[in-house]
Amino acid sequence: MKKTVKAAPKRRPRSKGSEKPSLASIELREVESLRGEIERLRAAGGPPRWNADPDEVRRSVLKLVLTLVEFVRQLLERQAIRRMEVGTLTDDETEAVGLALMRLEETIRDLSTQFGIAPEELNLDLGPIGRLV
């Protein structure tokens, strides 16, 4: 009996352009990409950061709290308007809700003024989602 031996498939020599990049070159490209993104953000002013200066902590915390309260106030206002339009609020309830929301808005404005926070500062940047308020 004759044994037949299969020849191994011929491999084509790789050209320099088809070589797989090494792990080190991939990591280097990633680091360079991150460095470029950091530089781009720095040049654009970057996102606002929390100020951990002890003298500014009260102001920073108040700014965050007022932002969240303003967000909730706007949600309540929208809900009250919807309920008013569908007729699930009586005239007295509509008056009470409107007065409460106006007083809350006034309180937010007074506290902002007291701590030197402009109304446009009462917002959070949520990245790709956009602004909170």
User: Residue 133 corresponds to which amino acid?
Assistant: V
CA 75 to chain CA centroid, Å, is 19
For residue 50, the model assigns a pLDDT of: 59
Distance CA 54, CA 62 (A): 14
pLDDT at 122 over 80: yes
Q: Using pLDDT thresholds of 50, 70 and 90, give the confidence band for residue 72.
A: very high
For residue 35, the model assigns a pLDDT of: 81
The candidate with the shortest Cα–Cα distance to 55, out of 115, 126, 125, 2, is 115
For residue 121, the model assigns a pLDDT of: 84
Q: Residue 128 gets which letter from DSSP?
A: G
For residue 73 the two structure tokens come to 């106030």
Q: Using pLDDT thresholds of 50, 70 and 90, give the confidence band for residue 102.
A: very high
For residue 3, the model assigns a pLDDT of: 56
Q: Alpha-carbon dihedral of residues 42, 133, 112, 79, nearest 10 degrees?
A: -170
For residue 85, the model assigns a pLDDT of: 92
State mean pLDDT over 85-109: 93
Q: pLDDT for 16-53, tens place per residue?
A: 555 566 767 777 788 888 787 777 767 766 555 656 67
For residue 9, the model assigns a pLDDT of: 55
Q: Using pLDDT thresholds of 50, 70 and 90, give the confidence band for residue 113.
A: very high
Contact present, 66 and 108 (Cβ < 8 Å): yes
